[in-house]
């Protein structure tokens, strides 16, 4: 985009028919974000960034959990499902 601005994006997908063993119970994820260096503000050692992510379960996975199936972190037969939305920010200063 520009010398001091970076962007990123990532997507992942699982069909929900196969058991996953990961850090969380999700079948699909979309994320993007931006980072901005502070050169224009006289803060060349600084970087500020933010990112957004949305995670979800496939229909087969939701049905499995609603029927009492267990995942790594979720599953008690009383599934109250909605997608997970995450917003993250960071600040980094490379001076030591």
Enumerate the domain spans of the chain: 5-93
Instruction: Provide the pLDDT for residue 19.
Output: 67
Q: Is pLDDT above 70 for 13?
A: yes
Q: Is pLDDT above 90 for 62?
A: no
Confidence of residue 55 (pLDDT cuts 50, 70, 90): very high
Instruction: Provide the pLDDT for residue 20.
Output: 65
Confidence of residue 88 (pLDDT cuts 50, 70, 90): very high
- Of 45, 41, 39, nearest to 4 by C-alpha is 39
Residue 14: partners with Cβ closer than 8 Å, 6 or more residues away? 20, 26, 27, 28, 58
Radius of gyration for the alpha carbons in the chain, expressed in angstroms and rounded: 19
Higher pLDDT, 86 or 64: 86
φ and ψ of 9, to 5 deg: -155, 150
């Amino acid at each position: 985009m520009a010398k001091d601005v970076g962007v990123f994006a990532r997507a992942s997908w699982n069909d929900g028919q196969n058991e996953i063993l990961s850090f969380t119970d999700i079948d699909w994820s979309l994320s993007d974000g931006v980072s901005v260096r502070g050169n224009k503000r006289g803060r060349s050692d600084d970087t500020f960034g933010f990112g957004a992510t949305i995670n979800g379960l496939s229909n087969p996975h939701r049905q499995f959990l609603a029927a009492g199936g267990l995942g790594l972190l979720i599953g008690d037969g009383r599934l109250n499902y909605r997608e997970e939305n995450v917003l993250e920010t960071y600040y980094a200063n490379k001076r030591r």
